[in-house]
Amino acid sequence: MVKTAKNQQMTGTLVGNESQNGNHAYSEAVKSGLYAKKTGLVGKYDNVRRYWEDEITRQFLRLHLQKLIKRSRSQMRRLRILDLGCGSADGYELLAGIRHRDPSLQDVEVDLLTPDVLGLYKGIDLNEHLIIQARESYGNNPKITFEQVDFTKGLPISKSEKPYDLYFTSYGTCSHHNEDRTLIRLLIDIAKRTEEYCVIVCDWIGRYSYEWQSLWTNDLSKNRNINYVMSYIYEREEREQRRDELQHLNLRLISHKEAESIVTKAGEKAGIEIKPLVYFDRSIFTGRHMDTAEYNPHAQPIRQAVNSLHEANQRTNLHSLLIDYVPKQGFDFLNNYFERLQMCWNILVHYVEKLLLTYDEKQRLFDPDPLAIPSSYPPALREMMERMRQVIDGVGWLGIGLPRENIIEPQLGYALRYLVTNLQQGQGCAHGLVGIFEVDKT
Of 9-17, 31-39, 79-87, 336-344: span binding ligand SAM (CB under 6 A) = 79-87
Tell me, residue by residue from 174 to 213, as one string, x for binding to ligand SAM by CB under 6 A and - for no binding: --x-------------------------------------
Quote the strand ranges of 297-431, DSSP E.
Answer: 359-360, 365-366
Gyration radius from the chain CA atoms: 25
Cβ 410 vs Cβ 309: under 8 Å: yes
Count of beta carbons in the 10 Å neighbourhood of residue 313: 8
Between residues 176 and 303, which has the closer beta carbon with respect to ligand SAM? 176
Between residues 204 and 325, which has the closer beta carbon with respect to ligand SAM? 204
Of 55-63, 106-114, 146-154, 159-167: span binding ligand SAM (CB under 6 A) = 146-154
Site for ligand SAM in 25-54 (CB under 6 A): none
Of 122-130, 272-280, 350-358, 412-420: span binding ligand SAM (CB under 6 A) = 122-130
Query: How far apart are alpha carbons 300 and 48 in whole angstroms?
Result: 15
Give the CB-side neighbour count of residue 256, counting CA atoms within 13 A: 14
Tell me the closest approach of the beta carbon of residue 249 to ligand SAM, in angstroms: 8
Of 21-29, 53-61, 144-152, 159-167: span binding ligand SAM (CB under 6 A) = 144-152
Which distant-in-sequence residues (6+ apart) come within 8 Å of 23 by Cβ?
A: none
Tell me the closest approach of the beta carbon of residue 81 to ligand SAM, in angstroms: 12
Q: Select the residue interacting with ligand SAM from 18, 147, 150, 339 (CB under 6 A).
A: 150
Query: How far apart are alpha carbons 93 and 43 in whole angstroms?
Result: 17
User: Is 398 a binder of ligand SAM (CB under 6 A)?
Assistant: no
- How does DSSP assign 275-324, residue by residue? EEEEEEEE-SS--HHHHH-SS-TT---HHHHHHHHTSTT----GGGG---
Q: How far is CA 224 from the centre of its chain?
A: 23
# binding residues, ligand SAM (CB under 6 A): 17
The residues binding ligand SAM (CB under 6 A) are 85-87, 90-91, 125-127, 130, 150-152, 170-173, 176
